[in-house]
Amino acid sequence: MTPRLAIRLVGIGLFVVILWNIDLGRALSVMTEVPWWGLCTALLMALALAGIRALRWRLLLNAHGVRQSMRDALVSTLESMIWGTLTPARAGELIRVHHLVADQGIAVSRAAALWAVDMGLDVAGAVIATAGLTVFRPAIFGQILPRPAALAVLAAAIGGLAFLPWLSRILASRLPRGLAAPLEVLAATPASLLLGLAGLTLGSFTAYALTVAGLAGNLPEPGWAEICVITGLTMLVAILPVTFMGFGTREAVIIGVFALHGRPPEAAVGFSFLYVASALLAVAVYFPLMIGLRRRK
């Protein structure tokens, strides 16, 4: 076994340990509570998520002289989201770099820098949403992240958006070329566009949270704000290259959040299965849509 594969199996091992120590039947019973209207909501939100992310990608590319139609942006976004769901650390999303290099002749370093900025927006959105909800609903997560700390994170993140091009320009001049490339992209992006991209990012985050909230529509808890906090945390741990499809790390995070409110691990694992269901549902929707758009070229 190679060291890289061993690292990827850490999360799977953790997942097995968690399942071994809970009543799996009780956890799986959550799936029987999914309402038909919640399933419809999840489908619509999965489509909205793909559309918002495609629009954000297209706007970012166009701002840097890379012309791409909305259909092409949607196709590459759908493909990247499919592979990103099925690969460790969402590495499959790098397929967008391949398309920029192969289809438009863009240098690998520049294509990777554009992709890194787009992915960075997702990370920033998860941080801002989690910190913001902790500020306004401290009962959800305040035991781990005190309200003053959450407020500081939120203020720094939002305030940093306005000064991001300026800060990026300074940092880019002091870093090696490979690390500086994404910062150079940020430095060349107008602050007004960055704010617009940030708005789209929060929109995509909301769509993702609503996908899960729809599937959990008949559950008495967690509430909407807590679902958003859990969504932000699971998005952040999803970029760790220690598992496949977030198994293990996602369950550990949700068990921790549920434990803050005295809920059993079975409820947490059952709720985590809704994230798995939302991911598989999205793949089932995205794949035929991607094929159909490609055939219309």
Is 246:271 a contact under the CB 8 Å cutoff?
Answer: no
| Predicted confidence (pLDDT) at residue 217 exceeds the cutoff of 90 | no
Angle of helix 249-259 relative to helix 265-295, nearest 10 degrees?
Answer: 140
**Mean pLDDT for the chain?**
85
Residue 81's pLDDT band, with cuts at 50, 70 and 90, is: very high
| Interatomic CA distance for residues 220 and 27, integer angstroms | 15
42, 82, 183 from 279: Cα distances, Å: 10, 9, 31
Query: Which amino acid is located at 100 in the chain?
Result: L
Q: Tokens representing 256?
A: 């921790």
| Predicted confidence (pLDDT) at residue 143 exceeds the cutoff of 80 | no
Residue 226's pLDDT band, with cuts at 50, 70 and 90, is: confident
16-25, 38-47, 57-66, 234-243: lowest mean pLDDT where?
Answer: 234-243
| Predicted confidence (pLDDT) at residue 103 exceeds the cutoff of 60 | yes
Is 154:135 a contact under the CB 8 Å cutoff?
Answer: yes
Quickly list DSSP for 165-219: HHHHHHHHTTS-HHHHHHHHHHHTS-HHHHHHHHHHHHHHHHHHHHHHHHHTTT-
Is 53:77 a contact under the CB 8 Å cutoff?
Answer: yes
- pLDDT, average across residues 245-266: 88
The pLDDT score that the predictor gives to residue 82 is 92
Question: Which is more confident, 160 or 223?
Answer: 223
Q: Tokens representing 98?
A: 């391949």
Q: 81: helix, coil or strand?
A: helix
Share of the chain above pLDDT 90, in %: 35
- pLDDT, average across residues 182-198: 84
How many Cβ atoms sit within 10 Å of the Cβ of residue 14? 18
Q: 138: helix, coil or strand?
A: helix
| Predicted confidence (pLDDT) at residue 49 exceeds the cutoff of 80 | yes
Residue 241's pLDDT band, with cuts at 50, 70 and 90, is: confident
The pLDDT score that the predictor gives to residue 142 is 59
| Predicted confidence (pLDDT) at residue 201 exceeds the cutoff of 80 | yes
Query: Which of 275, 230, 269, 213 lies closest to 85, judged by CA?
Result: 275
Query: Which of 228, 271, 227 lies closest to 252, judged by CA?
Result: 271
| Interatomic CA distance for residues 142 and 136, integer angstroms | 10
The dihedral sign for the CA sequence 228, 53, 163, 89: positive
| Rg of the chain on CA atoms, in Å | 20
CA angle, 100 then 102 then 106, to 5°: 50
Q: How would you classify residue 29: left for phi > 0, otherwise alpha for psi between -120 and 50, otherwise beta?
A: alpha
- pLDDT, average across residues 276-290: 90
| Interatomic CA distance for residues 155 and 158, integer angstroms | 5
